[in-house]
Every structure is written in structure tokens, then in C-alpha cells.
């Protein structure tokens, strides 16, 4: 084979140049700061009565244009009535989060299940949905940028037009939130988008608006954190005026403070989430894994990605040098 | 041989005639009309049916994947395994074109072609594995540099093109297109260096895919060095595959195996394997502890099988000179390494998340259709390699260069 050194170097330089100029201004690494106007939900399991009003209204208010469940030509919300007899398709009985269900209330039961919010011989409700991480793994892993985090209010949303359906988001989400439309030939990923389509109309999350007890409330994350910490500080049994619907609402309901365990879920988990939770039964027992790191997950991959250009450059320089040395004798062939 | 100019005109026919001229491989004695070829074709046909079914009715209909187990056989075996099996190409190409180790020149084409099919396997499978196959090109234009998957996609496309470039001289040589051949050869070393860089990154980035799931992937495999575990084991596997294939083609085709080449590959396997073993033991001791592997659990056992078959047994065998210099025994070592590293990829890609998934209520075993597709893809790679060996100057004769 005859390769002159000059031609060879030209080829290498050309390749390098192509790489350097071909890089469009890609978005830099995922932020770890709470966005300035970050909003979220506080779910207090000790106030939840398991009425599932949030589930019903989540489905209804997200099945309209702009909503997280909406599809063109949709006539009614995507009810899940599989296995229900005589439901005529109007009953909704999801058992898990799914491509049709963005939030779900589940029950914990133990032994005689007599006392609410007690681990032994008690019961409790809990709510599963996207927690709107401050540094979302789903956003960082999506190869097509289909998951985004709003830089203002911090809601994590999804752009189906970009998605390729690889399900990396499902693998990466530490809470197992995103769900896939498995039965579709052109599937989308579904998850709670914090009802961001309702903000323009001056509304807020449907699940909070329709929660009768104040178990789910909407508000600025900074306010929600304060509210949650305040509840934790009070002695169990103290009477407290719990806000209903939103954290700053004037409507209040007076009840006793319950015995909380485990602190505020979402304060430190994966570097913090915009949705927060309080509970009388440990989160571990409710199925929220203890195995959740306390730092932002995207930093794990960034440590690797940041090295890539160095490796590329190193191999080019090293390879060229070695080639020059090992092919000394064939110079100018 | 039929004269193609009768059918498709003098120009195209002339090209076809040259391509279909199998005198280049006459001395290999490759026969196409065999029952084995028929079986391969049948398997490919079945896989094609599954692929169409999957595209028409969705992933849920064709596979057992679910919300708790979003990645399965197609990712664990076809993509992680297929790419790892292709690692031989950049090693041999680099050794020949950059280090100028002339000894390995005789296998450089075969190992590049082999890698080409490995990557093709990965590329076709991932295209069917993503739910929106027709927009799989999105990452290439919608850069998202935080995503390892984006890096993987970019590499896949760039490296497939690099491999095609590296293989193209065989075709041009056959056609006698001297000008094009010279043109491609001029870029060859640049292409090889580019290929080495891409491979180092690509092999490691497949492991880096899993860096973001510390809570899901079992600590038996999860660790911060996962990308480098993947890279080193891929190098070991790549050498084993090249050696395996050299010996196998020596057995089934009439093709003389250059002895010192295979012995050199075995030595390489030994050094890389020893390094890999140190890495893995270090991780086990500093991470989950030896107890985690010995506790008799499903994952612990898988870990033990993977390490015993793929690393410890091969290293033990290779430590004997009598093994390193015996082609039959090297062949056995190759098979062990291949099985062990492929199991490692499936452990990371499929089984390693089982504890998390089961806790969340999920269950997974590949469906018949998933298996049929994977088997069909392997058949496709074997048949493709065979066809190329028959019609292309894959094993240049001694003194040819
Ligand atoms: S909870 Fe999961 S889906 Fe929601 S923002 Fe965090 S990583 Fe994304
Ligand atoms: S499935 Fe879609 S949204 Fe999820 S990571 Fe893949 S491309 Fe992104
Ligand atoms: S914020 Fe909206 S989408 Fe999310 S769970 Fe509540 S109602 Fe559903």
C-alpha cells in the first residue's frame, strides 16, 4: 500500500476539522439549581382519604389539547377498564401508572389494618407520579432531547415529536415514573407534566385543585418546603390549619398534626425534587426505594462525557505519532 | 457462471460479472448450496416476518418488555453483545496500520468484515427496538450531549461508515477500479485512527449507559468504572472472536491458519484478561463484597458463571504454554471467553435490573418473537460473512500485498 505522509496527515486533519465544526451549540450539562419560579406539589399522606379525586381529574384535565394524555381525535379520557365486567368503558380502574395513567393513589395495609398512618396493623395511602426532579435523569439521558425541564417553572415535560421511543428515560428515572404505550405501533412516553398546559389559563395542577382535604397542594417549591418543614416541627396532636388546593390559599382545614416519619421526601433525593411528600409510614414501606442517591444523577454520566473530546484528541495525536515512528522506513514511498 | 450482461445490459452486467466471479476464493472451496445455507436463509426469513409484525403492531405485541423492564434481549444481546464482538476490528486494524505489525495483515480484512456485521446486527436490532423506528435518526440532528445514548448513536453511524470505508478496498480491488482504490487507500490510515478512537469511545460508552442507574443495576455490576469494564472485556472478547474466526475459517474453508497469528492473539487475550480480572476483583472487594457473589442468589450465581467461564477458566488454561501453543486448545479458550463476555453483557443489560424490577412488580423473559429475531440476526451475520468470503478477496494470499 502506498500512502505518503503528507496525504495521510491531510486526511487526519480534515477529519478533525469536520468534528470540530460539526458540533452545533448543544445545551450544556443539566443544572442542579432550583429554577427561579419553580412550582410543585406537596402530598401529605396523613391527610389523604383515598378518594382518588386527583386521579379522576388528572385524567380528565389532561385529555384536552395540550394535556399530557391528549392525542389527536381523542373523544374521552383513556380509561383503563380492562378486566372490569359491564364497565362499558366508562370506569377507570388502573392498577399502576401507565401510558394512560399519570398519577395513582395506592393503599398500604398491614395486619388488621385498623389505624391510619401506622406501619403495624395499620393502613395508609400514597401517591405515585413524576416528582419533577431538579436535575432530572430522564432529561439528561434522552438522546433526542424529547424530555425537557422548563427553565422558569421547572416542570419536566415531553415532546413526542422528538422522541424515538428508545425507553432510556424509563430505565434512567430512579422512581420508575415514565410509562410507555406498549400497545401502540407509534408509541409515546407518558408521565405527569405538572399540568403545565393549565398555567396559561391561570389554573394549576388538577390533582391539587380537586383534592378535597388538602393532601395534595400546589405552590412555589420554596413555600412548599417551608410548609412541609413547619408540619414536621410541630408536635403530633397539635391543631393546625392545613391549606387546601394551594399552599398560600386562604381556605384551611383544621386538623391534628400526625406523627410523621422519615422527614420530607424529595428534599435531598437525587439532589432534590420539586414535588415533596410527607407520610406517617416510612417511605420504604410505601415502595419508595431507600436505594436512592442523594445527589444529582446526571453528574454520573457527565463525568464520562466530559472526557470524550480528550480521548478523541489523544488518540489522533498519539496514533499519528506512533504511525510516523513505525513507518519511518517507508517514508516517501 | 451466468453472464449477467445478457440480463442487465453490458455496463451493469460487466460489474455484476466481476462481483460474482468467485475465482478469488476458489482455493477456499466455499460451497453455497448447502443445507446449512438453507437453514440460515429460513432463520433470516422468520426474523424478517417478526420484524414486519413488530413494526405493524408495536413492541408490546412482539416482545415481553414492560414498564419495569424496558430493555431486554435486543439491547442486552444484539446491541451490547454485537458491538462487543466487533472490537477485534479496531485492534487488528490498529496493529497493522498504526503499529505496523505486519504479521496480522492476513486477518485484517476478515476481522473488519466481521465487525461490520457485528455492528450491522446492533444497528438493525436497535432500529427495531426503538418504538418509533422511522425517526431513529433524530439524535443525529437533535444533539443532546448529556445523553450517553446520543453518543452511542453518533458512534454507531460514524463507525459503521468507517468500517465500510475500511472494507471497501476489497470491492474496488475486485472490480479493478484502480483510481477509486488508490483514493480510498490514501485515507486508510486516517480512517483506521478514527476507527480506533471511535471504538474506544463506543465500547466504553455502552457501559456508560448504565452509569445513571446506581439504584437499579445490581452492585455486582454497577460501579463507576463500568465504561472501562466494558472496554477491557470487549478487547478480550474481540481478540477471542478474531482468533475463533481465524481458526474456524481454517477448519471449514480450505484456508491455511497462520500459526503465529493465533498464538499472538492468545497471548493478547491472556494479558488483557489478567488486567480485566484485577479490575473485576478490585470492584468486587471494594464494592458489594465477595459475599454478594457467593450468597447463592440468582444474580450472585450469574456473576460467578460469567467470571468462571469468561475469565478465570480461560486465564487458567492460557497460563500453560501447552495451551498457548496448541490451536485446538486456543479454540476452546476462545469459546469460553466469548460465552463469558456475552453473558456479562446480558447480565448488565437484562438480569442486573431484576431485583429492582421484581420489587416494582415486573417480570421478563424474552418472547419467542424476540428470540426469533435475535437468532435471525445472527444467521444474517454468518451468511453475510460467508457470501463475502466467497466473492471478495477476504484472505489475501501470502505475498499478495
Ligand atoms: S421523577 Fe423520573 S420522570 Fe420525573 S423528572 Fe425525575 S427522572 Fe424525570
Ligand atoms: S423513549 Fe423517547 S423520551 Fe424516552 S429517552 Fe428515548 S427518545 Fe427520549
Ligand atoms: S400535576 Fe396534573 S398531570 Fe401531574 S398528577 Fe397532578 S393532575 Fe396529573
Residue A283 maps to a domain: yes
Angstrom distance (rounded) from CA B131 to CA A169: 13
Residue A330 maps to a domain: no
Domain CATH code at residue A185: 3.30.70.20
* B79 three-state secondary structure: helix
Full DSSP string of B189-246: HHHHHHHHHHHHHHHHHHHHTTTT-TTTS-TTT--TTHHHHHHHHHHHHHHHHHHHHH
With an 8 Å Cβ cutoff, are B149 and A142 in contact?
yes
Taking the centre of ligand 3 as the mean of its atom positions, its distance from the CA of residue A34, in whole angstroms, is 20
Q: Which of A156, A161, A168 to mutate to test the pocket of ligand 2 (most atoms within 8 A of CB)?
A: A168
Angstrom distance (rounded) from CA B42 to CA B127: 22
- Residues 6+ positions from A105 with CB-CB distance below 8 Å: A48, A50, A52, A54, A55, A125, A126, A127
Task: Give the residues across from A246 on adjacent strands.
Answer: A218
Which grid cell is A228?
412541609
Angstrom distance (rounded) from CA B87 to CA A165: 27
pLDDT in tens, chain B (401 residues): 677 777 877 888 888 888 888 777 777 778 888 899 999 999 999 999 999 999 999 999 999 999 999 999 999 999 999 999 999 999 999 999 999 998 998 899 999 998 999 998 899 999 999 999 999 999 998 889 899 999 999 999 999 999 999 989 888 988 888 899 998 888 888 999 999 999 999 999 999 999 999 999 999 999 999 999 999 999 999 999 999 999 998 888 777 778 899 999 999 999 999 999 999 999 999 989 999 999 999 999 999 999 999 999 999 999 999 999 999 999 999 999 999 999 999 999 999 999 888 888 889 999 999 999 999 999 999 999 889 888 888 877 644 43
Q: Return left, alpha or beta for B63; rule: phi > 0 is left, psi -120 to 50 is alpha, else beta.
A: beta
The CATH topology of domain B67-362 is: Formate dehydrogenase/DMSO reductase fold (1.20.1630)
**Full domain range(s) for residue A219:** 39-297
Eight-class DSSP state of A195: T
* Interface subset of B 175-204, CB within 8 angstroms of A: 182, 185-194, 196-197, 200-201, 204
Positive or negative torsion for Cα B300, B302, B308, B314: negative
Which grid cell is B345?
453483557
User: Could you tell me if the CB of A258 is within 6 A of ligand 3?
Assistant: no
Nearest CA in chain A to B223: A300
Residue A66 maps to a domain: yes
Q: What tens digit of pLDDT does each residue of A298-318 get?
A: 999 999 999 999 989 999 999
B103 touches chain A (CB under 8 A): no
With an 8 Å Cβ cutoff, are B144 and A300 in contact?
no
Name the residue among B163, B150, B245 with its Cα closest to residue B196: B163
Selected residue of B73, B126, B145 to mutate for chain A interface (largest A Cβ count, 10 A): B145
Angstrom distance (rounded) from CA B167 to CA B265: 22
The pTM for the full model equals: 0.91
Which run of H or E residues covers position A158? strand A156-158
With an 8 Å Cβ cutoff, are B208 and A301 in contact?
yes
- A138 chain-B contacts, CB cut-off 8 A: none
Nearest CA in chain B to A169: B70
Task: Count chain A–chain B contacts defined by CB atoms under 8 A.
Answer: 212
| Pairing verdict, β A39-44 and A216-220 | antiparallel
What is the number of structural domains in chain A?
1
Nearest ligand for residue B138 CA: 2
Domain boundaries, chain B: 37-66, 67-362
Residue A279 maps to a domain: yes
Atom of ligand 1 nearest to the CA of A178: 3
Amino acid at each position: 500500500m502506498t500512502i505518503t505522509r503528507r496525504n495521510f496527515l491531510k486526511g487526519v486533519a480534515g477529519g478533525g476539522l469536520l468534528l470540530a465544526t460539526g458540533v452545533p451549540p448543544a445545551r450544556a450539562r443539566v443544572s442542579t439549581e432550583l429554577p427561579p419560579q419553580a412550582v410543585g406539589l406537596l402530598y401529605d399522606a396523613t391527610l389523604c382519604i383515598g378518594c382518588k379525586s386527583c386521579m379522576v381529574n388528572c385524567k380528565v384535565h389532561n385529555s384536552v389539547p395540550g394535556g399530557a394524555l391528549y392525542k389527536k381525535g381523542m373523544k374521552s379520557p383513556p380509561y383503563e377498564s380492562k378486566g372490569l365486567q359491564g364497565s362499558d368503558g366508562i370506569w377507570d380502574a388502573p392498577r399502576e401508572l401507565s401510558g394512560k395513567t399519570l398519577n395513582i393513589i395506592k393503599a398500604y395495609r398491614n395486619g388488621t389494618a385498623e389505624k391510619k398512618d401506622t406501619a403495624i396493623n395499620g393502613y395508609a395511602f400514597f401517591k405515585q407520579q413524576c416528582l419533577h426532579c431538579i436535575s432530572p435523569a430522564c432529561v439528561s439521558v434522552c438522546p433526542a432531547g424529547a424530555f425537557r425541564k422548563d427553565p422558569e417553572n421547572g416542570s419536566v415535560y415531553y415532546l413526542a415529536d422528538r422522541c424515538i421511543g428508545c425507553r432510556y428515560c424509563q430505565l434512567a428515572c430512579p422512581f420508575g415514573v415514565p410509562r410507555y404505550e406498549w400497545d401502540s405501533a407509534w408509541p409515546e412516553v407518558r408521565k405527569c407534566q405538572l399540568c403545565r398546559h393549565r398555567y396559561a389559563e391561570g389554573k394549576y395542577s388538577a390533582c391539587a385543585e380537586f383534592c378535597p382535604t388538602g393532601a395534595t397542594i400546589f405552590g412555589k417549591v420554596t413555600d412548599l418546603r417551608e410548609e412541609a418543614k413547619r408540619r414536621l416541627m410541630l408536635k403530633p396532636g397539635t391543631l393546625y390549619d392545613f391549606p387546601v388546593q394551594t399552599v398560600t390559599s386562604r381556605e384551611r382545614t383544621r386538623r391534628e398534626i400526625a406523627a410523621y416519619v422519615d422527614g420530607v421526601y424529595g428534599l435531598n433525593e437525587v439532589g432534590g425534587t420539586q414535588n415533596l411528600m410527607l407520610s406517617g409510614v416510612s417511605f420504604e414501606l410505601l415502595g419508595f426505594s431507600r436505594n436512592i442517591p442523594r445527589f444529582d444523577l446526571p453528574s454520573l454520566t457527565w463525568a464520562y462525557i466530559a472526557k470524550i473530546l480528550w480521548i478523541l484528541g489523544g488518540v489522533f495525536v498519539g496514533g499519528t505519532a506512533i504511525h510516523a515512528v513505525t513507518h519511518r522506513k517507508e517514508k516517501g514511498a | 457462471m451466468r453472464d449477467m450482461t445478457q440480463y442487465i445490459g453490458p455496463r451493469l452486467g460487466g460489474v455484476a460479472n466481476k462481483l460474482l466471479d468467485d475465482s478469488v476464493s476458489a482455493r477456499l472451496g466455499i460451497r453455497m448450496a448447502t443445507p446449512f445455507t438453507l437453514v440460515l436463509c429460513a432463520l433470516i426469513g422468520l426474523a424478517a416476518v417478526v420484524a414486519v409484525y413488530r413494526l405493524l403492531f408495536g413492541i408490546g405485541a412482539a416482545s415481553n418488555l414492560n414498564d419495569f423492564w424496558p430493555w431486554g434481549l435486543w439491547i442486552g444481546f444484539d446491541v451490547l453483545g454485537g458491538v462487543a464482538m466487533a472490537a477485534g476490528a479496531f485492534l487488528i486494524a490498529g496493529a497493522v496500520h498504526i503499529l505496523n505489525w505486519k504479521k496480522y495483515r492476513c486477518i485484517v480484512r476478515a476481522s473488519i468484515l466481521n465487525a461490520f456485521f457485528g455492528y450491522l446486527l446492533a444497528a438493525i436490532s436497535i432500529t427495531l427496538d426503538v418504538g418509533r423506528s422511522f425517526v431513529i435518526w433524530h439524535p443525529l440532528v437533535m444533539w443532546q450531549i448529556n445523553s450517553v445514548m446520543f453518543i452511542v448513536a453518533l458512534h454507531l453511524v460514524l463507525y459503521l461508515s468507517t468500517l465500510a470505508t475500511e472494507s471497501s478496498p476489497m470491492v474496488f480491488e475486485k472490480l479493478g477500479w484502480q483510481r477509486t482504490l488508490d483514493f480510498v487507500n490514501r485515507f486508510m490510515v486516517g480512517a483506521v485512527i478514527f476507527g480506533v478512537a471511535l471504538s474506544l469511545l463506543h465500547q466504553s460508552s455502552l457501559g456508560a449507559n448504565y452509569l445513571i442507574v446506581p439504584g437499579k443495576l445490581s452492585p455486582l455490576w454497577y460501579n463507576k468504572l463500568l465504561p472501562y469494564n466494558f472496554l477491557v472485556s470487549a478487547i478480550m472478547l474481540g481478540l477471542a472472536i478474531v482468533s475463533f474466526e481465524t481458526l474456524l475459517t481454517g477448519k471449514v474453508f480450505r484456508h491455511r491458519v497462520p500459526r503465529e497469528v493465533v498464538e499472538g492473539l492468545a497471548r493478547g487475550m491472556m494479558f488483557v484478561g489478567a488486567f480485566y480480572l484485577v479490575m473485576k476483583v478490585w470492584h468486587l472487594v471494594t464494592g458489594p463484597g465477595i459475599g454478594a457473589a457467593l450468597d447463592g442468589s440468582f444474580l450472585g450465581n450469574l456473576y460467578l458463571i460469567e467470571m468462571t467461564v469468561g475469565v478465570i477458566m480461560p486465564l487458567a488454561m492460557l497460563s500453560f504454554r501447552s495451551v498457548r501453543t496448541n490451536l485446538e486448545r486456543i479454540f476452546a479458550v476462545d469459546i469460553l471467553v466469548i460465552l463469558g463476555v456475552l453473558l456479562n453483557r446480558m447480565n448488565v443489560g437484562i438480569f442486573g435490573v431484576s431485583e429492582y424490577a421484581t420489587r416494582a412488580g415486573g417480570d421478563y423473559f424474552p418472547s419467542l418473537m424476540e428470540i426469533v429475531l435475535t437468532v435471525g440476526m445472527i444467521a444474517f451475520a454468518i451468511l453475510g460473512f460467508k457470501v463475502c468470503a466467497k466473492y471478495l478477496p477476504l484472505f489475501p494470499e501470502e505475498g499478495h500485498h
